[in-house]
Amino acid sequence: MRTQVGIVGAGPAGLMLSHLLHLRGIESVVLEDRSRAYVEGRIRAGVIEHWAADLLIEAGVGERLRHEGLPHGGINLSFGGALHRIDFEALVGRGITVFGQHEVVRDLIAHRLGHGGNILFEVEGVVLDGVEASRPRISFRHQGRAQSLDCDFIAGCDGFHGVCRPSIPAAALTVYRRDYPAGWLGILAEAGPVCPELIYCSHPRGFALFSMRSPELVRCYLQCAPDEDPGRWSDEAIWRELRARLADAPAAALQEGRILQKTVTTLDGFVVEPMQHERLFLAGDAAHIVPATGAKGMNLAIADVAVLSRALETFYRSGDSARLQSYSATCLRRVWKAQRFSWWMTQLLHLDPSASPFDRRRQQAELDYLVGSEAAMRSLAENYVGLPLQG
């Protein structure tokens, strides 16, 4: 097989890159080791930044997003028994949209396959060869047959545990990592939201987040130990703890619907530099992970491939590789700002087991300052709805 760009991974990064390249007349093939049903059913992030929603709509894959996505003009902070709204629209003139990552993936897959896109699911044994040569190759097995894909460039969009990043010599990379001392016990439940917008809770018992995926489906989280066993939590205990950590007024409106899913997610910070090596470019979780507190994961992945698709278009139109050479530096400026914001949100809202009484009082003072300062709220709003896309 032969294509211009070989893409490993059919998550938001790989699929969006393939779609953006298609719009620019550039061929690609996407290789995914999971089944289509698994990829489309994988529940992940649900907050889409303002610019990212605009990009999906402008690119022709945002029709359901426009009609089914839940626009939010702000978020709520719950602490000290009271609820405080941060009005994004009033502060920065923009909001966010809640629309599940799996829904974005579903739409991208349908669009690519409906327009002649080449996505191979359930591939095995992916190996990258010649990334330092002018014609790299991806070897793999599909439907029991050994195959290879010759391409000009490889995009590694296969996540943190994928094969692409380890294909770069370790000496060529610098890894930055921070493990946060908290995890999230998350549930997906059949219930209506307690509030039209997300609620972030800081409570002496720990952090909680009240989100939604639709008017009938909620996604809620409780701070727990990173190695917590979700099986230890009964449905009754989860609802009881969620109610305890929520401010009085919304707690009274909490619906205890049927829980469909329980998971535990760790909070991790990870960045690899550079995000490229010769003809191999990393995007999304293959290059960086942020704590979910700041709602940046999928948005960073889309930002990466927006930059990469433009750089590839410039190369194929004019032969100019300057944008490709600066891909990593361009993306990393945004990545580190997202890491900073995600760290700030995490330390602001979570209970640190090692925190002293002084630390806890300082945290309470910071929350009190935030909701009383227009400048502080504007900074939060600016970062949450998404910084301008560069490059």
Q: 179-264+351-385: same fold as 5-74+94-176+268-349?
A: no
The pLDDT, as a whole number, for residue 133 is 86
The pLDDT, as a whole number, for residue 218 is 93
The pLDDT, as a whole number, for residue 391 is 63
The pLDDT, as a whole number, for residue 187 is 95
Which stretches of the chain drop beneath a pLDDT of 50?
Answer: none
Per residue in 66-101, pLDDT (tens digit) is 999 999 999 999 999 999 999 999 999 999 999 999
Residue 389, by phi and psi: left (phi above 0), alpha (psi -120 to 50) or beta?
Answer: beta
- The CA distance from 258 to 344, in Å, is 33
Q: What is the pTM of this model?
A: 0.95
Strand pairing report for 199-201 and 74-79: parallel
By the 8 A CB rule, do 324 and 315 touch? yes
Strand pairing report for 96-98 and 47-48: antiparallel
The pLDDT, as a whole number, for residue 134 is 85
305: which residues sit within 8 A by CB, 6+ positions away?
Answer: 13, 14, 16, 17, 20, 155, 157, 283, 284
The pLDDT, as a whole number, for residue 366 is 97
For the structural domain made of 5-74+94-176+268-349, what CATH number should be given?
3.50.50.60
The pLDDT, as a whole number, for residue 43 is 78
The pLDDT, as a whole number, for residue 285 is 97
Copy the structure tokens of residue 98: 């809640």
The pLDDT, as a whole number, for residue 247 is 86
Instruction: Provide the residue ranges of all domains of the chain, joining segments of one domain with +.
Output: 5-74+94-176+268-349, 179-264+351-385
Specify the CATH number for 179-264+351-385; select among 3.10.180.10, 3.40.50.300, 3.30.9.10, 3.40.50.1460: 3.30.9.10
- The CA distance from 102 to 36, in Å, is 11
The pLDDT, as a whole number, for residue 252 is 86
